[in-house]
Amino acid sequence: MNHWFEDFTPGRGALPARAWVRSDAPALSLNGGWRFRYAERADAPADLADPALDDGGWGEITVPGHWQLQGWGVPAYTNIVYPFPVEPPFVPDENPTGDHRRAFALPAGFGAEGARAVLRFEGVDSAFTAWVDGTEVGRSVGSRLPVEFDVTAALDPARDEHLLAVRVHQWSAASYLEDQDMWWLSGIFRDVTLLARPADAVEDVFVHAGYDHRTGGGTLRVDTPGPARLRVPELGVDAATNEDVPLPAVEPWSAEVPRLYDAEVSTAGERVRLRIGFRTVAVVDGVFTVNGAPVKLRGVNRHEVSADRGRAVTEAEMLADVLLMKRHNVNAVRTSHYPPHPRFLELCDEHGLWVVDECDLETHGFWLLDWRNNPSDDPRWREAYLDRIRRTVERDKNHPSVVLWSLGNESGTGQNLAAMSAWVADRDPSRLVHYEHDWAVPYADVYSRMYATHAEVAAIATRTEEALPDAAADARRRAMPFVQCEYAHAMGNGPGGLAEYQDLFESSDRCMGGFVWEWIDHGLRQRGPDGRERFAYGGDFREPLHDGAFVADGLVFPDRTPSPGLLDYAAVITQVRLRPEETPAGGRLRLTNHHDVVDLDHVRLRWSVEDDGLEVAAGELATPELAPRASTLLELPEEVPALPAATAERWFTVTAVLARATSWADAGHVLGRGQVQLADAPAPARSPGRGPARRGPDLLVGPAVLDARTGALHRLGAFPARSLELALWRAPTDNDRGEHGEPLEPAWRALGLHRLRHRTGSVEVSGSDVVVAGRSAPAGTDTGFATTWRWSAVGDGAVRLEVDVLPQAPGGLSVPLPRVGLRLELPRALRTLTWFGRGPGEAYPDTGAATWTSRFSRSVEDLQTPYVRPQENGQRADVRWAELTADDGSGLRLEADPAIGVTVRPWSTEALDASTHTSALRDEGRVWLHLDAAQQGIGTASCGPGALPAYRLQAQPVRFAVTFAALA
Ligand code: GAL
């Protein structure tokens, strides 16, 4: 049996696509509560269309919304694989179907003389039929695309109350074109509106607003299908549409200065409000430019996600995204992988973000079938592809923020993509075309890649990349600008390697920059089996086929709290860069203006000097005049006090803040920070303490109480201290797992680093020291680690523990180690960590760009980073000393030599490793302290390259020391 939605064509009854505008014509929102009936299959009779049907027994659903998040059916997550058999255009009989009904009355004055009534759906997933008063008004597919039906004739004049009925099917032929990596969620998830279309309406409007950077003039032409009047009061424009309006002087639009001019287009029947931004996008000598200047995209890929409403995002969530992006120095968004809610683009226009607007298209599941029958190259799908790009471009064509059209994502190659590109080139030559999946770039204007390694980006940046077999194609591509439309997979802890990518992007004008994958974790709020609230990922709805936590790979958590990755990204891409530099006069900071358009007039520079993490002087520096891309060395202010040699570790810090409030942040908002070290700490002068003393079965060394027989640590001062061990294991991060990259976790587990066994060889009192020698190794292998633990009492009541770790691998050991350090267990009363080192957030060898050196304090709870899937987190790096204290001020102080990584948590690494959701972690009533000499870098192998060689922890002899003292 063939259903209408098992068809290659895009539906029937739709009006021609047109721009999304703000109009004064009457409109009736049909959002709100609708009657709802759910079926597992699609073949029930269409009785829902009948106004006489009694729907009293139906449920109620909120539109916009997904039925899976309102009690019917379940969400399902797959990345690439289709969750149904691949036999286009067919879909399984089990095809969840939602019948929606709502009554509405036409507001007074709605149907003025000659007016038509148009029903507009902004987004319905995936296929639907609509009826008004029992008459079918249209059918459509294209989940994230608008569609309009003329319903004038269907409205029964005899009725005061009209009935709108909509039947939505979860699966359709269109599902083959909508295989984006996200939850499968169905329903009417964007606004529904009934629009009055007056006689002589503004049927459509297309703004062409360019800027000539040589003259400062603007070009303006607004096209309408019929005659209309254009007014731009601020520019004194009152002209006919469809004519060129030269403007001798305008202020251009850019993401940095999003200058908009209010405009109005009117006919006798309708007035449409527009906000015009003047800008000209061009590739000049292989460089991406806007308004004559090269522009660097510091971007993110944004899916529309709400933890409670799925893709039915609210305006507040859209605004939150834009503001958070702006506050973290992001200047560009790729609307992966479909056009966003139209309001989002207005917000981008207003606050300033460059946009790559992507068409709702992905056929990635065919990749698993070696691209057999890929729709992209099958003429039967041609009209569907063209329909999608038309609906994208026509809807969004008036947004100055949109600078590139993207044909879609991961849809292989083929003639239908070429046809889309040709259509765009004809309809809107003012913007560039983007498409990543064909590396020969036959139908795009820029060379785009995803997850290319640093080495490959370096080659492309210098136009020395490997040649394409076809010389002409190669020459064409080599002349193109380059963009990483996805890189730095932000899944879990990480991404690592951001700074190195940014340096490459900035090293060459060929590089347009890139878009981190991705903005937000798609976790859905859910109650777990233990009754606790959690963020669900693939499998949590018992989907038979799913891709697990791969859906949680954003820079913000599902509730939009910034993750450490976002803070790092902000620090790496900041347009107000402050970097240390050695000069003959000593360490200084270099200030570089990485804006594309503006100078630093909006920036204030605050400086401070800290000795051992305590401020000794502070003030403000005059902000130098710096054009885009210019830089200067900052002199130390005269007020910096002299420091008697070798009395403290001194840091000079400059923080760049907003001088004035903007639309997206308050004055004082931090834009960037840089630090340079001015003096080293003196070497600690410690007199030896008293030698070890025997007390019953114990050996006392300063505040340490050891078992004289086994050498095990029992106490540190007043606190029981247990389980002191060599620790090589960390709870594998998503990047250690390396689902779409080089995985480390399997090799680690195979070696057994998570199940070390410890053997004590000897416990000796040697002079004033106690030396415990032993070996830690996994079962079943001769690979192991010889350890020497040397305890020496120092000064007045402290103990120094020096640890030597010597890898022994007769068969070789090629895999890097997760970590090398020690761990021990302390009472939970030690609730607060205060440290001098990098902070306030977490940092690993290749992450932590957002951290700086100072003195910080956090509770044990606040030291945890709540990654959706539990994994190693929370390390504070380069810690010189730290104090773990109880509320009464008692506690332990530790001093590291050299500086170490400190991780403190109320559960063990094993528990972290074993648990599947952060909500399931239980406070164990004790504190686990990890002190690490080194950790493996993070990288971004969850999808992309692993840690760069410099950040890999190859096994080698390690020595580190920690001095413990009791705090009264
Ligand atoms: C890309 C894809 C994205 C996402 C990402 C991994 O290949 O375009 O949609 O799946 O990988 O998270």
CA distances from 599 to 257, 593, 787 (A): 11, 7, 56
Radius of gyration of the chain (CA): 32
Q: Where are the domains of the chain?
A: 4-197, 206-282, 294-571, 575-679, 693-967
Closest CA to 931 of 966, 898, 886: 898
Class of residue 86 by CB neighbours under 10 A (exposed 0-12, middle 13-18, buried 19+): middle
The top-level CATH class assigned to 294-571 is: alpha beta
- The C-alpha atoms of residue 25 and residue 9 are separated, in whole angstroms, by 32
Return the ligand 1 atom nearest residue 943 CA. 6
Distance of CA 648 to the CA centre of its chain: 39
Question: What pLDDT score does 1 carry?
Answer: 62
Return the ligand 1 atom nearest residue 410 CA. 8
- The C-alpha atoms of residue 376 and residue 363 are separated, in whole angstroms, by 8
Q: Do 558 and 524 meet the contact criterion of CB atoms below 8 Å apart?
A: yes
Residues 6+ apart with CB under 8 A from 251: 257, 259, 278
- The C-alpha atoms of residue 807 and residue 956 are separated, in whole angstroms, by 6
Which one of 304, 486, 649, 842 is the catalytic residue?
486
Residue with CA at minimum distance from ligand 1 atom 2: 181
What three-state secondary structure class fits 591? strand
Return the ligand 1 atom nearest residue 553 CA. 12
**Distance from the alpha carbon of residue 492 to the mean position of ligand 1, in angstroms:** 15
Residue of 81, 410, 484 best suited for mutating to test ligand 1, as the one with most atoms within 8 Å of CB: 410
**Distance from the alpha carbon of residue 917 to the mean position of ligand 1, in angstroms:** 22
Residue with CA at minimum distance from ligand 1 atom 4: 181
Question: What pLDDT score does 109 carry?
Answer: 77
pLDDT under 50: residue ranges of the chain: none
Count of alpha carbons within 13 Å of 829, Cβ hemisphere only?
Answer: 12
**Distance from the alpha carbon of residue 441 to the mean position of ligand 1, in angstroms:** 19
Closest CA to 938 of 562, 485, 506, 498: 498
**Distance from the alpha carbon of residue 741 to the mean position of ligand 1, in angstroms:** 13
Terminal CA-CA length for the chain: 81
Distance of CA 918 to the CA centre of its chain: 19
> Is 2.60.120.340 the CATH number for 575-679?
no
- The C-alpha atoms of residue 277 and residue 254 are separated, in whole angstroms, by 8
Residue with CA at minimum distance from ligand 1 atom 11: 943
**Distance from the alpha carbon of residue 488 to the mean position of ligand 1, in angstroms:** 11
Residue of 81, 144, 179, 181 best suited for mutating to test ligand 1, as the one with most atoms within 8 Å of CB: 181
Closest CA to 343 of 191, 517, 494, 124: 191
Q: Do 302 and 321 meet the contact criterion of CB atoms below 8 Å apart?
A: yes
Q: Structure tokens of 931?
A: 């002190």
**Distance from the alpha carbon of residue 783 to the mean position of ligand 1, in angstroms:** 38
Determine what percent of the chain falls in helix, strand and coil, rounding each to the nearest 5. 15, 40, 45
Return the ligand 1 atom nearest residue 336 CA. 9
Question: What pLDDT score does 686 carry?
Answer: 82
342-351 vs 315-327: helix axis angle to the nearest 10? 30
Amino acid at 666: D
**Distance from the alpha carbon of residue 409 to the mean position of ligand 1, in angstroms:** 9
Count of CB atoms situated within 10 Å of the CB of 683: 8
Residue with CA at minimum distance from ligand 1 atom 9: 181
Distance of CA 40 to the CA centre of its chain: 35
What three-state secondary structure class fits 367? helix
- The C-alpha atoms of residue 332 and residue 352 are separated, in whole angstroms, by 9
Closest CA to 174 of 90, 95, 97: 90
Residue of 78, 79, 521 best suited for mutating to test ligand 1, as the one with most atoms within 8 Å of CB: 79
Phi and psi, residue 445, nearest 5°: -100, -10
Which one of 122, 304, 346, 410 is the catalytic residue?
410
Residue with CA at minimum distance from ligand 1 atom 10: 181
Question: What pLDDT score does 62 carry?
Answer: 98
Return the ligand 1 atom nearest residue 337 CA. 9
> Is 3.50.30.30 the CATH number for 206-282?
no
What three-state secondary structure class fits 873? coil
Decide if 410 is catalytic. Answer: yes
Q: Do 883 and 891 meet the contact criterion of CB atoms below 8 Å apart?
A: yes
Of the candidate CATH numbers 1.20.1530.20, 3.80.10.10, 2.30.30.90, 2.60.120.260, the domain formed by 4-197 belongs to: 2.60.120.260
- The C-alpha atoms of residue 652 and residue 399 are separated, in whole angstroms, by 44
Q: DSSP string covering 27-41, please?
A: EEE--EEEEEEEEEE
- The C-alpha atoms of residue 59 and residue 36 are separated, in whole angstroms, by 5
- The C-alpha atoms of residue 15 and residue 138 are separated, in whole angstroms, by 10
Amino acid at 28: L
* 273-302: pLDDT as tens digits: 999 999 999 999 999 999 999 999 999 999
* 66-99: pLDDT as tens digits: 999 999 999 999 999 999 999 999 999 999 999 9
- The helix or strand, by DSSP H or E, that contains position 246, with its residue range, turns out to be strand 245-247
- The C-alpha atoms of residue 244 and residue 184 are separated, in whole angstroms, by 46
User: Do the domains 575-679 and 206-282 match in fold?
Assistant: yes
User: Which CATH code is given to the segment(s) 693-967?
Assistant: 2.70.98.10
Q: DSSP string covering 436-473, please?
A: -S-TT-TT-SSEEEES--HHHHHHHHTT-PPPPSSHHH
Q: Which residues line ligand 1 (CB under 6 A)?
A: 79, 181, 337, 409-410, 450, 486, 489, 517, 553, 943
* 130-148: pLDDT as tens digits: 999 999 999 999 999 999 9
CA distances from 116 to 11, 25, 109, 149, 195 (A): 21, 11, 12, 10, 8
Q: DSSP string covering 758-817, please?
A: EEEEEEEEETTEEEEEEEEEETT-S-EEEEEEEEEEETTTEEEEEEEEEEE-TT---SPP
Q: Do 865 and 493 meet the contact criterion of CB atoms below 8 Å apart?
A: yes
**Distance from the alpha carbon of residue 66 to the mean position of ligand 1, in angstroms:** 23
